[in-house]
Structure 1
Amino acid sequence: MNKQELIKAIAIGSGVSHAQAAKMLTAMQETVTNVLAHGDKVSIRGFGSFAITDHAARYYHHPQTGETKMARSYRTVRFVPSGDIKSRLN
């Protein structure tokens, strides 16, 4: 499912127009992004939670040159689905 299909499903499921559904999805994306950017966690009961995970800097071996290099640290988003979603999948 792509973004347009998701917007269409939201519009049909909630009984609002396509434009309103697009605004709702965009607002949710921006809100979750802003909350995560500030270092907080987003938990949606019955859906799941979004959190930031930090990955430490590490050394790695370059396979072609044999050189040992340093990979810098980085942050990424982790999504953990709720128990309801997990049970529906299994």
Structure 2
Amino acid sequence: MDKSKLINAVSVKSGITKKEAELAVETVIDVITQSLVSGKSFSLIGFGKFEVCQREARTRIHPKTGEEFLTKAGKVPVFRVSKSLIQLM
């Protein structure tokens, strides 16, 4: 499912217009994004948890040339699925 299909599904399920559903979906995405940018996690109980994890710098090998290079350390977003959602599958 992509973003437009999500907006349509929210619109149909909640009985609101597509414009209102688009605003709701965009708002949720913005809230999650702002939470992650500020370094906080975002949990949806029964669905999962969005977190920011620290990635260490490490040496990698270029597959074509075999040359080694160093990747930068940095922060990456991570999603962890809740156990209750896993049990539904």
**Structure 1 residue aligned with 2:36:** 36
In structure 2, how many angstroms separate the alpha carbons of the residues matched to 1:70 and 1:14? 49
- Point out the more displaced range, 3-12 or 54-63: 54-63
Q: In the TM superposition, what are the counterparts of 1:1-90 in structure 2 within 5 Å? A: 1-89=1-89
Matched residue of 1:52: which SS? strand
How many residues are aligned here? Answer: 89
**Structure 1 counterpart of 2:86, one-letter code:** K
- Which TM-score applies when normalising by structure 2? 0.88
Residue 67 of structure 1: how far off its partner (Å): 3.7
Large movers: runs of 4+ above 6 Å:
none
Gaps of 5+ in 1: none
Instruction: Rate the CA distance shift 1:65–1:4 in 2: closer, same or farther, 3 A.
Output: closer
CA RMSD, 1 decimal = 1.5
Partner Cα distance (2:87, 2:17) in 1: 32
> Which segment is superposed worse, 53-62 or 18-27?
53-62
**Distance of aligned partners of 1:4 and 1:59 in 2 relative to their CA distance in 1, 3 Å threshold:** same
Q: How does the TM-score come out when normalised to structure 1?
A: 0.87
Which structure 2 segments of 5+ residues have no match? none
